[in-house]
A and B are shown apart, each in its own frame.
Chain A
């Protein structure tokens, strides 16, 4: 576990020292969500209806926005080479990097989401489901995104390519994430969607670090 903790500690420390970068992601999320009422008008029923979808799409876009920072700096300064030469398993420290990245970019979204949902007059008892769906879903977004970030590392126009590559993969997460809140509001209960998200998270946890490690080895060549 040594390298896992070392990588996570370092990444969290770097995020703290460069915290403006982190705040940009959060501000983007808040602004995108706040733009929708201006666009679709202040009709309360309509806003209530679109709230889960808007919050989820905004979370997805701000995740995407932060992804190219995941490996870019380490790639540029040579840290990635050294990590790949570590005798420890690559997937271990990749998982640490993704976890640190999620704590810094994903967790704040989960925390502010209920506040923003109130702007849309979302029912208060649905807030728990919204938070739970984001808490289960946003780590999947980070894990899948990390594979995309590794695949597009060092490419010209990598940011756009990353979006093209990753957004289709995000669709199921979006459907079940936003669907969980809708299902709860519709009275059918959100268990099915939340269980699927949980299963997806476990699957991503098991597979993504290895895929990411393989992609990084290719990127560094």
Chain B
């Protein structure tokens, strides 16, 4: 369902990759691998449509993502490095805002349920500034459990700062999402406990 051809990415005056092609079928998980500074995050941002590639194009269900931005972004859930949390808001407020701004408002109860699902039942009303790194990460990931299902999940280092149990739980969630016909693109440095190892795209092996 997601397809990219001949992608090239230029950062400053350094070419990160060129002639990169990838294809993600529904029900598939793709892990983007590679050492630091090889353009993993840049690739994910290009796939999301946040950054324009130097060359090449990205297609969603056969249509250019730039031409069908609204359709594509309605089906996309991106969790980046930054958890998109303001220190002055509580996790419930942040989650409700993220959903409403994303065009699919949900009720407070649904948000509290999703936060309980990621193990933050006791922290729903605390300001974000008192949360730990791992807890912030969990608030960001709570978006996987609210509202209508988004078909494509693009996750940048989702396992960072999570404890062992949460990593296992997230791996199961991602596999369930794929089993339900969705697609996942993620980057990670650690070996996540997937039952079936995802396909790997190694940026270190891409010509540039």
* Chain B residues near A74 (CB-CB < 8 A): 86
Could you tell me how many residues of chain B have their Cβ less than 8 Å away from some Cβ of chain A?
Answer: 31
How many cross-chain pairs have Cβ atoms below 8 Å apart between A and B? 83
* Chain A residues near B52 (CB-CB < 8 A): 221
* Chain B residues near A77 (CB-CB < 8 A): 82-87
Tell me whether chain B's interface is mostly helix, strand or loop, or mixed.
loop
* Chain A residues near B12 (CB-CB < 8 A): none
A88 engages B103 (CB within 8 Å): yes
Which of B21-29, B94-102, B161-169, B200-208 lies at the interface with chain A? B94-102
Given contacts A6-B105, A14-B86, A14-B88, contact A87 B100 (CB under 8 A): no
B70 engages A87 (CB within 8 Å): yes
Which of B30-38, B43-51, B182-190, B191-199 lies at the interface with chain A? B43-51
Whole-angstrom distance between the alpha carbons of A6 and B106 in the complex? 12
A81 engages B50 (CB within 8 Å): yes
For this complex, into which size category does the number of interface residues on chain A fall?
20 to 34
Q: Check A168 for interface membership: any CB of B closer than 8 A.
A: no
Partner of A86, one of B51, B88, B101: B101
* Chain A residues near B74 (CB-CB < 8 A): 87
CB under 8 Å from chain B, chain A span 55-104: 73-74, 76-79, 81-88, 93
Given contacts A84-B50, A221-B51, contact A3 B103 (CB under 8 A): yes
B83 engages A13 (CB within 8 Å): no
A83 engages B101 (CB within 8 Å): yes
Whole-angstrom distance between the alpha carbons of A83 and B84 in the complex? 10
B50 engages A78 (CB within 8 Å): no
| Nearest CB of B to A26, in Å | 20
